[in-house]
């Protein structure tokens, strides 16, 4: 199951509130995702941002 727009919004708020984690707090803030799902989601977003930055510079 993917991330709903509401879950995405909660993820960004949680990430702003807890920029260094812990991931359990971020997952609890979202309420519908596990710690591992929050970690994986953040990792995928970081990879996507890195790709976008690379494209912008070339």
Contact 27, 37 (CB under 8 A): yes
Give 43's pLDDT tier (boundaries 50, 70, 90): very high
Q: Structural domain boundaries of the chain? A: 5-57
Give the CA count within 13 Å in the CB-facing half-sphere of 33.
26
Mean pLDDT of the chain: 94
Quick one: pLDDT at residue 15?
Answer: 94
Predicted local distance difference test score (pLDDT) of residue 56: 84
Mean pLDDT of 24-45: 97
pLDDT at residue 57 above 80? yes
The answer to whether domain 5-57 has CATH 3.30.70 is no
6 within 8 A of 17, measured Cβ to Cβ: no
């Amino acid at each position: 199951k993917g991330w709903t727009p509401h879950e995405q919004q909660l993820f960004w708020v949680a990430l702003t509130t807890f920029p260094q984690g812990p991931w359990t707090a971020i997952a609890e803030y979202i309420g519908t995702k596990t710690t591992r799902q929050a970690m994986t989601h953040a990792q995928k977003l970081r990879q996507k941002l890195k790709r976008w930055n690379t494209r912008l510079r070339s």
